[in-house]
Amino acid sequence: MPDPAARSLRTRRSGLVGVVIPDLTNPVLAPIVQGAEETLRAAGFGCLLADTDNDPAREEAAIAELEARRCEGLVIATARRRSPAVERLAKHGPAAVLVTRGLDTGALPLVAADDAHGVAAAVRHLVALGHRHLAHLTGPRDLSTTARRARAVRESAKAFERSGVDVVVRHGAGFTIADGRRLGRALLSAHPEVTAIVAGNDMIALGCLDAMAEAGLRCPEDVSLVGHNDMPFVDRLEPALTTVAIPQRALGVRAAEVLLGRLAGEAVAPEPLVLPTELVVRGSTAPPPAARRS
């Protein structure tokens, strides 16, 4: 059984890949990490996990540490649209692949879900139910996911402009339940005309549910709600959450595969790899109340 340190010293290969994630506690991430880990392991790589707790400073420290440990590749799920620490990897440092959250510059390969498609389906669904005044409550502006989803909501709503459809878009500080609660409270009091909310992710949707309950509004009778990600267990909530399902495990697997390709010297397509999404209609969406219907 050869000594990996000696081999590594000689071959300059560590057999290690770093996986940088914003928060293991967010249930969407588990299948992504699992898929990546399994794929990487099958290819003979070990997975060094680093949780940044959504903190850019910790992200930078984590990347530095992973580089110091001579990881051959990095799977990064924490990138912001402009992230000096991440962007630098495009020039120097180990091969890196981004999952879900991409860079504005597109300097690094990205594996992401087709959020625009899913969100457009959500808006169509709500409009077909009779909703005219929509809201989009989402996370920080500096994430590509947020930007993509917000743009898709705006454009989809705009396509129904002649039917009197409008949408108010609000960004929060993060993607937590507490952020969703804050956003929901503010929206509900400022825009009582809104009968349907498209949340930037399922955590925000959960917070919206809390805000509705506080305001004495029922979901879906008074306000409809669509989440994003279809994370585990949202199908068992009351009401079961209508949400845009992303292929969680596949995102991890494909990201790992793209990274393995890069490590094997393959040229990587400059275009993001986009995986399909699907609107899963459950109990949190319904026609708007008659009194509010336009």
Partner DNA sequence: ATGAAAGCGCTAACAC
Partner DNA sequence: GTGTTAGCGCTTTCAT
User: What is the contact surface with its own copies in residues (CB under 8 A)?
Assistant: 1, 3-6, 8-9, 14-15, 19, 24-25, 27, 30-31, 33-34, 37-38, 41, 46-51, 65, 68-70, 206, 209, 232-233, 236-238
Q: Which is nearer to DNA, 3 or 161 (CB)?
A: 3
Smallest Cα–Cα separation from 250: which of 28, 3, 60, 23? Answer: 28
Q: Which is nearer to its own copies, 97 or 206 (CB)?
A: 206
Would you count residue 293 as binding DNA (CB under 7 A)? no
DSSP 8-state class, residue 236: G
Would you count residue 1 as binding DNA (CB under 7 A)? yes
Query: Least CB distance from residue 88 to DNA, whole Å?
Result: 20
* Torsion angle defined by CA atoms of residues 257, 260, 261 and 262, in that order, rounded to the nearest 10 degrees: 130
Q: Long-range pairs for 261-268 at CB < 8 Å and ≥24 separation?
A: 262/73, 262/95, 262/97, 262/109, 263/72, 263/73, 263/95, 268/109
Q: Which is nearer to DNA, 11 or 25 (CB)?
A: 11
Give me the amino acid identity at 16.
Answer: L
| Omega before residue 220 within 30° of 0, cis | yes
Q: Which is nearer to DNA, 45 or 160 (CB)?
A: 45
Helix (H) or strand (E) holding 17: strand 16-21
| Omega before residue 239 within 30° of 0, cis | yes
Would you count residue 3 as binding DNA (CB under 7 A)? yes
Would you count residue 24 as binding DNA (CB under 7 A)? no
Query: Least CB distance from residue 15 to DNA, whole Å?
Result: 11
Query: Least CB distance from residue 90 to its own copies, whole Å?
Result: 20
Q: Which is nearer to its own copies, 176 or 224 (CB)?
A: 176
Would you count residue 10 as binding DNA (CB under 7 A)? yes
Give me the amino acid identity at 130.
Answer: G
Would you count residue 264 as binding DNA (CB under 7 A)? no
Which residues would be at the binding site for DNA (CB under 7 A)?
1-3, 6-7, 9-11
